[in-house]
Each structure stands twice: as C-alpha cells, then as structure tokens.
Amino acid sequence: MNRDNLMLILLFLCIIILSFINNIAFLFGYFLSITVFFLIIRGRVGTLISGILRVLPFLVVLSFAFYISSLLSKGHPYRYLVILNLRVFDMVLSLMFFREFANPLRALSFSSTLTYIFILSYSQIKTFTELYYDFSLVMRSRMVLDTSYKDRILFLRKMAGYFFKKAIARAEDTAMAMKARGFFLYD
Amino acid sequence: MHIPDGMISPKMYIPLHVVNAGLLVYGFKRIKNKIDEKTLPYIASCAALSFVLMLLQVPLPGGTSVHGVGVAPIAIIFGPWMGFVAISLVLLIQAIFLGVGGITSFPVNALCIGFLGSFTSYYIYLFLRNLLKDKVAMFLAGFFAILVAALFIAISLGIQPMLSPYYFPFGLKTTIPVLLVPHIFVGIGEGILTVLIYEFVKKGIKNE
Amino acid sequence: MIELSHIDFYFDKRPVLLDISFNIEEGEKAVLLGPNGSGKSTLLKLIAGLLFPKRGKYLFNGKEISKKRLKDKKFERAFRKDVQLMFQEPDIMLFNPSVYEEISYGPLRFGMDNIKERVLKVADFWGINGLLKRPVYLLSGGEKAKVALASLLVMEPRLLLLDEPTAYLDMKSTKSLCKLLKKERFTTLVAMHDVHIARYFGERFIVLSKEHRIVFDGPFDRFKESSLFEEFGFFKEESEACLKGGPYER
Ligand SMILES: Nc1ncnc2c1ncn2[C@@H]1O[C@H](COP(=O)(O)OP(=O)(O)OP(=O)(O)O)[C@@H](O)[C@H]1O
Ligand SMILES: [Mg+2]
C-alpha cells in the first residue's frame, strides 16, 4: 500500500460521505474549503475552472429543466437544486484534488496485475490518441475539404481498420516482448 | 452517454459497484483461460481500440456525424467478455485520469455500455447471422447495442427519484424518450462503424 | 553460438523466411540487411525463441530451441536471460511504471545482484539518469529507445539482437551504441537499413532478399563489390566518400 493508494481510498471515502449527506451547510463548507485550497494554497485557478466547466453545461441544462418542470407543478425546487449542484461540484472537485496530488497509475495499483493492465492500456491509449490526431491532420492535408459522403466513409473505414490491425499487432508483439523479458517465468 | 458523478444515489451505486467488480473479475478469468499469456496485451489493445473508436466521427447520411463507441465490433470480434472488460477499463481510466464520467456512476456506465452493450451485440449477431446478410446482422448488432445501453442508462437515471431525493430529478417518463431518441443516431453510427470494421477484417483475411 | 539450418517460416500461408541457414559464433558481430518486408524482424524473433519455424532447425549453444524445449521453465529462464531482443518498436517492450523500474525489471525477474548499481551504470551510459523517476509512457521516441536498450544491456546478455536500434536515436547515441558494441564481448546481430552505419555495427553482413532468402553472407568489403550493392540502392562512390570520413571511428 503506497501513498497514492491511500489517497484513492480517501477519495472514495469522501465521495461516499458526500453522497449520503444532504445538509446544505456541510456541502457548501466542503465546496468552499476545496475552492480556497485551490485558489490560495495551490494557485491553480485554471484547474479549478476546467473542473467546474466540465460538468457545468450538463448541470445548467438539468437545473433549468428541473426548475421549469417544478414551476409547472408548483413545487419548490430551490433546496433540491442547491443540494444537487453543490454535491456534483463537491465530487468533481474532490476528484480534481486527488488528481492534483496523486499519480492515478500508482493509486490504482492494488496488485501487480492491475498495475500492468493500467500501464499497458494507458500507454497504448496515449499512442493511439496521438496517432488519431495525426490521422486527422492527414485528412485535412491530403483531402479536399468538402469531401463526399462516400469519401468520408472510406476514410473512416481506413482509419478504423488501421487501428484495428494495429491493436492486434501490438497485442501480439507486446505478448512476445513480455515473454522475452521473462514476464511469464514464475518461480 | 457517460453519467457524471452526483446523479446516482448510494442505494444504487454501492450494490452495483459490487456486482460490477464481481463480473469484471469473472470476465478477466474467462479471458485468461482462453488466451493465457496474451490476456494483458489484448485487454490493453482492446481498451485503446475502443478509446480511439470513441474519438472517431462517424458520418451519417444527411450531413451530421456522431461519435462511435466501438463496443459492438470489439464484442463480436474478440468476444463479449473482452468487450465488457475493455470498455470498463476505458470508462475507469476516463473517470480517474481524465475526469470524464464519474466514480459513483462508473458501475452504471460499465454495466450498461460495457456489459449489456457487449452481450447484446454479440448475441444479436450470433442469432441474426444465419437469418440475414452478414452486413445487416452486423449493423443491427451495433445499432441495438447502443439502444439497449441507452435504455438501461435511462432506466437507471429514471428510478433515482424513487430511490432518494437530491439525485437525478427526472422520472422514467422523461428519461427514456430524452435518451433514446438521440441515441437512435448514435446507434446508426455504431452500426456503420461495426460494418466498416467487419468489412475490413473480412477483406484482410481474403488478402492473406 | 547459433546455428540455423534450412529454416522456413510462414505467416498463415504466406512465406516470410525460406531456407535460411547460417551460423554465428560466440563473440561475432553480424549485421542483418534486407528490404522492407523481407523478414528481418521475424528472423530476430525466431532467434529469440518467440516464434518457431515451420521447417528446419535452430540450435542455440548446441541445443535445439523448440516450443517443447521452452516448456522446461528452467531452460527457458536460462535462455531468456542470455538472449535479449530489442523490438523494432521499442514502445511495446516497456510496461513498467517508471524508467527505474523498467530497467531493473529484468535483473529482478532473473534474480541478479547489485541491481541498483547495475541500473545506475547503464542509465549513466545512456544519459538517462535524469529520467529514472519519470513514467515511461511520457517519454519521447528516442528516450524510449534508450530505456529499452538500457533494460537489455543491464542483463549482460550473451546474445544481443537489435531490430533497427538506430531508428529513433540521435547521431550521438548511435555512435555510443557503435562504440559499446565494439567494446563488449557479447555476440550481436543487428537488423539495419543503412549500410554506412551498419558497417560499424559489424564486419559480417547477412543479407535477405525480398523473396525472403539469404542472398549474401560475408564481409562488408565483398558485399560492396557484389552486384547486390547497387540493387539495394547504395552507390559505391557515395559509400566510399562516407567511409573515408569515418565518423564512427572517432
Ligand atoms: N503478425 C503477422 N501476421 C502476418 N504477417 C506478418 C506478421 N508480421 C509480419 N508479417 C509479414 O511478414 C513479412 C516480414 O515482416 P518483417 O516484419 O519480418 O519484415 P522486416 O524485414 O522486418 O521489414 P522492415 O524493414 O519493414 O522492418 C511482411 O510481409 C509482413 O507483412
Ligand atoms: Mg522489421
């Protein structure tokens, strides 16, 4: 058990506690303390804003729809809305707090198998994402902008097929490389 | 399609976390029994594949485009357990590394998209491939994988008001139409993607 | 040290290696040349005991390497420790959380001693001591290649197989690799494309054709005189000019 494992467990505890408490003062206090922490102690306004922005559109739509629907049914939506929104922000900010301080890969490594799964997947996701963005650039640089539907489908097929083939080849090669380096030799 | 944190009540996410973890361990063992030393590399490859398929824009006839999901092609080609494990892994990585989706909603997303999506597409394809043309069966497998996933996500959200207050506020009457209608298009996109990958695989094998 | 006799290898039904026979003695430095798709990477994987020929025999120190032989875990252990292969895509060989853990992975697995000193020594040689704590998946292509090379060299293998090791390396690192291979005692087989660099990786050239057969096996000077040389896209004048400069001698 390392420091990052502990932080992950702490994060889960916080989120579970947050999900049981419907007290506005508590939820608001939690929100305030994390915000202050980000603003003053870490000076990370950007992180804070990006975290909030990520859920904001969804929350705005949801809250607005709920507000209208409860007006129509003559309900009192305010308490409901405040708690719902605060809780979402609290949870998102807790996660950001965790990501700010812990290395997620190490945090998830509760067993060596898990560690290898996450590292292999994460690094391959990174490679594939980079390839994908290069692919999109290729599309822009090699094809006329206003392409026909058929062309776009063909390009998609090429791209999806390429990643498909690459995924298999890489899995086979990785298995060989792991074997060569003694991964499957248990004592 | 990912549900964020704070929408699912603990009455639901705690038991689902347990169920999901159990299924993941079981699925991992199933895969391991089948491909042994290649298990870890293939899981990683499928996760990366589904991650990148989620980035792809699938053009729909008529000018719009939707994001693929990739659950159907992976489940049909590598088996439903692989689809489930790989998609769950992607959802977990998105939640913890990238802040997309959520931790409390992870089991709902994983079970609806990963588990139900994989098994729906796999069995629909198995069932239909003898009745219809291969291409049509593939398309329908992809289409229904998404619709079933969306339906169950709508149900999971829609029963929140009955479980406890201050979570997702709308009932089934709202969530089902609001989620299913747009996901018809996503389903078409996934269907197209499944057919394209299938064509590619078939052509690749012929060329050998 | 390795003896290949009449090896055929197929992927599905497509031939990738046909009638490959050659020996490499202990301590020899050989270079494997061949056009794209001729089967160089496949041959290296075969020698590393990761793929197995359809026909023919492969002996390593007099013992045949087959799937069955490698089922014997004790034998496999000794074999894998002695033979280290750098894959064409160094990315795929790296699966540990940090550079330090990556390099120390082999020594730990195979129960070597003084692990920390060994790791620091190779890291120092490759100029990657600054990276030891960094996660491997965030490194650049060349840095990954150096980490991969370091994790092979730390094992002190008897046979080192390198698949286009210079593809990602800058000039300076390429030169250090040349120097290192020259100095060390172990046997090497390096797959390469550029003869001018390959020249400094070994005296003996083994050349595959695009028909997957061996078309040349001998010293560089003879290869330069043969008709194959120009067929492979090299020019004598060009190469003489290159060699005269001898950038790798320095
Ligand atoms: N896993 C595989 N399945 C099917 N065919 C393969 C596989 N790996 C390689 N091949 C084929 O085998 C042939 C030889 O491939 P190999 O990678 O050994 O070539 P190479 O000489 O290393 O080429 P390069 O110079 O491009 O690295 C190629 O035609 C390739 O398409
Ligand atoms: Mg090669």
Please answer whether residues C110 and C155 qualify as being in contact, where contact means their C-beta atoms are separated by less than 8 angstroms: yes
Q: Which residues of C touch A (CB under 8 A)?
A: 45, 48-51, 73, 76-77, 80-81, 83-85, 87, 89, 91-97, 105-106, 109-110, 135-137, 151
- Asked whether residue A60 falls in the same domain as residue A128, the answer is no
Question: Cα(A160)–Cα(A52) distance, rounded to whole angstroms?
Answer: 33
Residue C104 Cβ < 6 Å to ligand 1: no
CB count within 10 Å of CB C203 equals 14
Alpha helix segments (H runs only) across C8-98: 40-47, 67-71, 73-82
Domain membership of residue A186 (yes or no) is no
Quote the pLDDT of residue A44.
80
CB neighbour list of residue C57: distance below 8 Å, 6 or more residues apart: C3, C4, C5, C6, C7, C64
- Asked whether residue A13 falls in the same domain as residue A48, the answer is yes
| Secondary structure (H, E, C), B158-189 | HCHHHHCCCCCCCCHHHHHHHHHHHHHHHHHH
pLDDT in tens, B55-106: 988 888 877 888 889 999 999 999 999 999 999 999 999 998 888 888 999 9
Does A151 reach chain B within 8 Å, measured CB to CB?
no
Ligand 1 atom closest to C42 (CA): 18
Please answer whether residues B111 and B19 qualify as being in contact, where contact means their C-beta atoms are separated by less than 8 angstroms: yes
- Which of B41, B89, B92 has its CB closest to that of A174? B41
Please answer whether residues A65 and B170 qualify as being in contact, where contact means their C-beta atoms are separated by less than 8 angstroms: yes
Domain membership of residue A185 (yes or no) is no
Domain membership of residue B186 (yes or no) is yes
Nearest residue of C to residue B205 by CA position? C12
Mean pLDDT of A48-52: 83
* CA separation, residue A1 to residues A61, A95, A113, A118 (Å): 41, 20, 15, 17
The CATH number of whichever domain residue C90 belongs to comes to 3.40.50.300
Choose, out of A20, A53, A121, the residue to mutate when testing the contact with B (most B CBs < 10 Å): A121
* CA separation, residue C5 to residues C21, C38, C53, C54 (Å): 4, 18, 10, 12
Domain with A176 in it: 111-180
Question: Cα(C188)–Cα(C25) distance, rounded to whole angstroms?
Answer: 10
pLDDT in tens, B110-157: 999 999 999 999 999 999 999 999 899 999 999 999 999 999 999 999
Helix axes C141-153, C99-109, angle to 10 degrees: 20
Give the ligand whose atoms come closest to the C-alpha of residue A169.
1
Strands C2-11 and C14-24: antiparallel
pLDDT in tens, C152-176: 999 999 999 999 999 899 888 888 8
How many Å is the Cα radius of gyration of chain A? 23
Does B37 reach chain C within 8 Å, measured CB to CB?
no
Given a cut of 90, whether residue A50 has pLDDT beyond it is no
CB count within 10 Å of CB A53 equals 9
Domain membership of residue B203 (yes or no) is yes
Domain membership of residue B5 (yes or no) is no
- B57: CA distance to ligand 1 center in Å? 31
Residue C46 Cβ < 6 Å to ligand 1: no
Query: B1, B4, B20, B18: which is closest to B168 by C-alpha?
Result: B4
Given a cut of 60, whether residue C46 has pLDDT beyond it is yes
The CATH number of whichever domain residue B16 belongs to comes to 1.10.1760.20
Domain membership of residue C250 (yes or no) is no
Given a cut of 80, whether residue C106 has pLDDT beyond it is yes
Mean pLDDT of B162-183: 91
Looking at A57, A74, A105, the residue that finishes a domain is A105
Ligand 1 atom closest to A172 (CA): 1
Please answer whether residues C214 and C20 qualify as being in contact, where contact means their C-beta atoms are separated by less than 8 angstroms: yes
| ipTM (interface pTM) | 0.91
Mean pLDDT of C148-154: 93
Overall number of domains in chain B:
1
* CA separation, residue A113 to residues A65, A141, A172, B140, C190 (Å): 45, 42, 18, 36, 33
Question: Cα(B85)–Cα(B26) distance, rounded to whole angstroms?
Answer: 10
- Asked whether residue A88 falls in the same domain as residue A51, the answer is yes
| Residue B207: pLDDT band with limits 50, 70, 90 | very low
- A8: CA distance to ligand 1 center in Å? 43
Q: Three-state SS for C19?
A: strand
Please answer whether residues C143 and C126 qualify as being in contact, where contact means their C-beta atoms are separated by less than 8 angstroms: no
- Asked whether residue A83 falls in the same domain as residue A122, the answer is no
Domain with B199 in it: 10-207
Nearest residue of B to residue A47 by CA position? B99
- Asked whether residue A99 falls in the same domain as residue A37, the answer is yes
B/e letters for C39-63, b = 16+ CB within 10 Å, e = fewer, are: bbbbbbbbbbbbbebeebebebeee
- Which of C50, C73, C137 has its CB closest to that of A179? C50
What is residue A41's DSSP assignment? I
Ligand 1 atom closest to A173 (CA): 1
Overall number of domains in chain A:
2
Domain membership of residue B2 (yes or no) is no
**Dihedral sign of CA atoms B92, B96, B97, B102 in order:** positive
Looking at A82, A105, A128, the residue that finishes a domain is A105
Question: Cα(B14)–Cα(B11) distance, rounded to whole angstroms?
Answer: 6
Contact A170/B41, CB-based, under 8 Å? yes
Measure the CA dihedral B143/B147/B153/B159, to 10°.
-170
Quote the pLDDT of residue C237.
67
Given a cut of 70, whether residue B40 has pLDDT beyond it is yes
- Asked whether residue A101 falls in the same domain as residue A115, the answer is no
Domain with C225 in it: 2-67+75-244
